[in-house]
Amino acid sequence: MESNIDAGLNESDLGAVQRAQGWAQDFVAPRAESWETERRFAREAFDSAGQHRLTGLLVSSADGGEDISVLGLARVLEEIAAVDFAIAFSLVCHNNLAGAVGRGATGTLRESVLPGLVEGSLVGAFLLTEPEVGSDAAAIAVTATTDGSEWVLNGEKAWVTNGTDADVLSVYAQTDSSLGHRGIATFLIDANTSGVIKTPGYELLGGHGLGANSIRFENCRVPAQSLFQPVGDGFRAAMEGIDLARVLVGAMCCGMLRTGLRTASNYVRGRLAFGGRLADLQGVRFKLADVATDLEASRLLTYRAALTLQEGRNAGVEAAHAKKFSTRVTENGIASCMQVMGANGAKRDHPLPRHLAAARLTHYVDGATEIQDVVISRSLLD
């Protein structure tokens, strides 16, 4: 399946996939467990990703980026998440922002952030979710009001991936609550601006390398040119990339599940019990066969949705199926892989405990599992 997909990639996509694979194996694999145990954002991984040209994947080549295709991006992220989900998700959030800035920002706003985002010297973050508002994103309560030529932001954002170290914040704020989602605008804000207050990273069940935290705005004044997506466009812009984001979660799940299957298969070939290899027990073989079937199905759903997006067609329902299925089978499948490894499955000297925790987190990002069901059932019944 991997090679089938790769046959559809152009040379520049293939180059990015190979760079991602090599970088993930050489740089990320030896360090990922320590980022988790130290519970910190992997800033050095981010810097290194920039050197490997993995931070401007969705930016045009005219602006110094890689201009990668949807299939190529999905394969890049599959390779990185096969080693570590946290750094892969951190890069997704950053790359999406860099791509949006490349497509939409103009003038000094563009000049001040785009080159840094592309080379990875500036870390980007996407701030939509709030402590009291998640799935119902149109209900956000962070406010932006005008004062002379400036905007003033107040309120709190939650679950900011890259938040602990982010330099460029893409902040969704309500400018007039009587307008509902039509009152939402987006601002690009320098994280060092006075009135931006970051909390330390959250204590989570896993995924600490992605540096999720909360960010508060206390009378944070920004110039008029910080307005990135004007009033009325903010909500539409937030939802615009959501199908791609869901497909990419599917691809990252394929990467983690692939590692689960390889790790467990290698283990059961070497471990002896009752006078033979674990790999020769039918109960063990069938458990792994089920995981392999789920992985194949997950890949088919994910890359079908990726191809639909790449062809410029609506992939809303396909992306919802892909995300819902791949997150579910990845969490269950990694647990099965750990089960056939016995108690050694629970040790942190291999990546599966880290992947299991990350697989749980995939159920919430880019629309929780139930929101995928909202999309799917709407397509069936309305």
Ligand X SMILES: Cc1cc2nc3c(=O)[nH]c(=O)nc-3n(C[C@H](O)[C@H](O)[C@H](O)COP(=O)(O)OP(=O)(O)OC[C@H]3O[C@@H](n4cnc5c(N)ncnc54)[C@H](O)[C@@H]3O)c2cc1C
Segment contacting ligand X by CB under 6 A, of 69-77, 96-104, 116-124, 154-162: 154-162
Assess 159 for contact with ligand X (CB under 6 A). Answer: yes
Stretch that binds ligand X, among 60-68, 121-129, 147-155, 328-336 (CB under 6 A): 121-129
Residue nearer to ligand X on the CB measure, 161 or 308: 161
Burial class (CB in 10 A: 0-12, 13-18, 19+), 4: exposed
How distant is the alpha carbon of residue 185 from its chain centre? 23
Q: Whole-angstrom Cα distance, residue 6 to residue 11?
A: 10
CA angle 309, 310, 311 (to 5 degrees): 90
Contacting residues for 279 by C-beta, under 8 A, at least 6 apart: 265, 268, 269, 271, 285
Annotate each residue in 61-100 with x if it binds ligand X (CB under 6 A) or - if it does not, as one string.
Answer: --------------------------------x-------
In the complex, least distance from residue 362 CB atom to ligand X, rounded to whole angstroms: 8
Return d(Cα 2, Cα 15) in angstroms, integer: 15
Kindly state the smallest distance separating residue 371's Cβ from ligand X, in Å.
Answer: 6
Number of Cβ within a 10 Å radius of residue 347: 11
- Calculate the CA 22 to chain-centre distance: 20
Find the binder of ligand X among 41, 126, 217, 228 (CB under 6 A).
126
* Least CB distance to ligand X at residue 123 (A): 12
207 forms part of the interface with ligand X (CB under 6 A): yes
Q: Which is nearer to ligand X, 13 or 84 (CB)?
A: 84
Closest residue to ligand X using C-beta atoms:
134
Which residue, among 92, 90, 95, has the nearest Cα to 114 in the 3D structure? 95
Site size toward ligand X, by CB under 6 A: 19
Is 161 one of the binding residues for ligand X (CB under 6 A)?
yes
The distance of closest approach from Cβ of residue 207 to ligand X in the complex, given in angstroms and rounded to an integer, is 5
SS3 state at 187: strand
Cβ at position 87, least distance to ligand X in Å: 13
- Under the criterion CB under 6 A, does residue 240 sit at the interface with ligand X? no
Q: Which is nearer to ligand X, 1 or 374 (CB)?
A: 374
Spell out the residues 6+ positions from residue 262 whose beta carbon is closer than 8 angstroms to its own.
Answer: none
Stretch that binds ligand X, among 120-128, 141-149, 291-299, 335-343 (CB under 6 A): 120-128
Mark the segment that binds ligand X (CB under 6 A) among 108-116, 285-293, 331-339, 358-366: 358-366
Q: What is the CA radius of gyration of the chain?
A: 21
Largest CA distance in the chain: 81
Q: Which of 217, 125, 119 is nearest to 165 (CA)?
A: 125
Answer for which of 51, 135, 293, 339 binds ligand X (CB under 6 A) is: 135
Residues forming contacts to ligand X in the complex (CB under 6 A) are 93, 126-129, 134-135, 159-161, 207, 212, 361, 364-365, 368, 370-371, 374
